[in-house]
Amino acid sequence: MTLNDETKTLALVGGTAITPFRTEADCTLVLAGGKIVHMGHQDDVTPPADAERIDVTGHYVLPGFIDIHVHGGRGLDFADADATTETFDEISRFFAGCGTTSLIATVYPQPTEHLLACVRTLRRYCESAGPGRILEGIHLEGPFLNPEMHGAIRPDYIWPPSVEAFRLLIEAGGPWVRVMTIAPEMPGAMEVLRAASMAETAGATRGARPAHPLHMSIGHSKAVYEQIAEAIDNGLEGVTHIFNGMPPMHHRRPGVLAGTMLRDELFVEVIADAIHVHPAVLQLLMKVKGHDKIILVSDAIRAAGQPDGEYVFSGQKVDVRKGRAYLASAHDTLAGSTTTLDKALRTMIRHAGASLVQAAQMASLNAARVLEWKYRRGILAVGKDADLAILDKDLNVQITIKAGRIVYRA
C-alpha cells in the first residue's frame, strides 16, 4: 500500500489544519519517523531541505479517519472463510482511498469454529502487517446478541452468552480484539461484561490477557432502561449503530434509545449515510449527545465501492439498489451500508448542521478515545502519529497518509 519511501520526511505546506478543536489556516506540518515533528503557521516552520514538499494550499488537513465498524468492501468481507492477506490488503486499500487510516475489522456471529478461525486469521494479519497497516483490530459484533433483534445477522448464528465462550474468543484474537457488541439483557451477558471489564478475569486462561480494556457496546438489543443502567455499572461504554438493531423509543417503556440519550457515559456509533438515520434525527442526536460523544462508522459491507447488484452478508443474499443494501428475504431490512467515512463526514456537515471541526472529531478523535489512542491519534499536534487525511474544498479525499507514508493519492 505504501506509495512513498518510509524514510522520507514529508512537509505539507499551506493547508488549513483541522486539529480537530480549531482551524489553523496557512499551516505547515512536517512528518518524520511516523510522527508529526513540526506544526505551525507556514511563516514560522521551515521544512528540512531533504523533505518532500507537498503544496496543500486550498486544502484541509484532518486527522485520519478511524472506522471501528466495517465489514468489508470491494466485493470482499473480513469474515469470508477464504479470506487471505490479499483480501485484507485490498479492503484496506479501498478505505485508505476514502481517508481512513485505521480500520477495526467487524465480524458477525458464525458457528463456533468458523468464527474462531476468522478471528485467528485476522489476528495473524494484524501481527504480521507493517507500520503502514490500516487494519488495526477486531470488532466482534456479537456473538452474544438478542436473536429477536438480529437484523441482517442470521439468528441461528447467535451464541448464548457465557464467560467461557468469551474467553475462547479472547484467546483466538488476543489483544487485537478491541470492540465487542453485546445485548446485556440476555442471560449470562452481565457476567461477560464484567469479565471484559476486568483484564485479570478476561485474560485468566492461558495468558490471553488483553493489553487494553475492551470497549463494550450495546447493540442488537431489547434491553430496558434499568438493564442499561446495570450494564453501565458493569463496564458498558458504547452503543452500536444507534437507532438500528434496537426498538424505537417508547415513552412508557424506556429502552436502549432512552438510556443512550440520558446516560452521558455512553459513546454512540452512527451510520451517517442519511439512509439508516434520517438527517433530522442526526440533528437531534447532535443536540442530545453532542459531537464529542458521537462516533461516525460506515458499517460497510462487501458492496461498498461496488456497483448495485446481489451480494452476500452473514450467509444471506443482499440486494443493493441505488447504494442501499437490503436483505433479499426482507426488503425493508437494511443489511449494513455502502458508505465510507468521507461520505459520513460530508453528511454530518451538509445535512445535520455539524461544523467541519465537529465532524472531524466525530470521524477520528472520538473513536481514538474509546480505543485508548487519544494521546496518539485523532489530533494534529507535534508528537502525534502522522495519520492524516487531506481533503479539497469540496471535502473530497486527495491524499491519505498513514504513519508518515502516503498510502493514497488521488
Angle between helix axes 85-96 and 112-128 (nearest 10 degrees) is: 70
Interior CA angle at 17 toward 14 and 22, to 5°?
Answer: 140
Which SS3 state, helix, strand or coil, does residue 356 take?
helix
Angle between helix axes 279-289 and 341-351 (nearest 10 degrees) is: 90
Residue 218's beta-bridge partner residues?
182, 239
Residue with cell 442519511: 274
The grid coordinates of residue 25 equal: 489556516
**43 catalytic, yes or no?**
no
Candidate list 299, 342, 385, 387, residue with the active-site label: 299
The C-alpha atoms of residue 363 and residue 288 are separated, in whole angstroms, by: 18
The C-alpha atoms of residue 327 and residue 153 are separated, in whole angstroms, by: 10
Q: Judge whether 88 and 124 are in contact, CB under 8 Å.
A: no
The C-alpha atoms of residue 90 and residue 96 are separated, in whole angstroms, by: 10
Cα–Cα distances in angstroms (integers) from residue 55 to residues 62, 379, 396, in the given order: 15, 21, 16
Q: Judge whether 351 and 274 are in contact, CB under 8 Å.
A: yes
The grid coordinates of residue 61 equal: 488537513
Residue 408's beta-bridge partner residues?
400
| DSSP annotation string for 112-126 | HHHHHHHHHHHHHHH
The grid coordinates of residue 370 equal: 474509546
What's at 260, amino acid-wise?
A: T
Interior CA angle at 241 toward 154 and 208, to 5°?
Answer: 70
Residue 53 per-residue DSSP state: E
The C-alpha atoms of residue 172 and residue 404 are separated, in whole angstroms, by: 31
**Among 318, 293, 177, 194, residue whose Cα is nearest residue 242:** 293
Residue with cell 484541509: 60
Positions marked active-site: 299
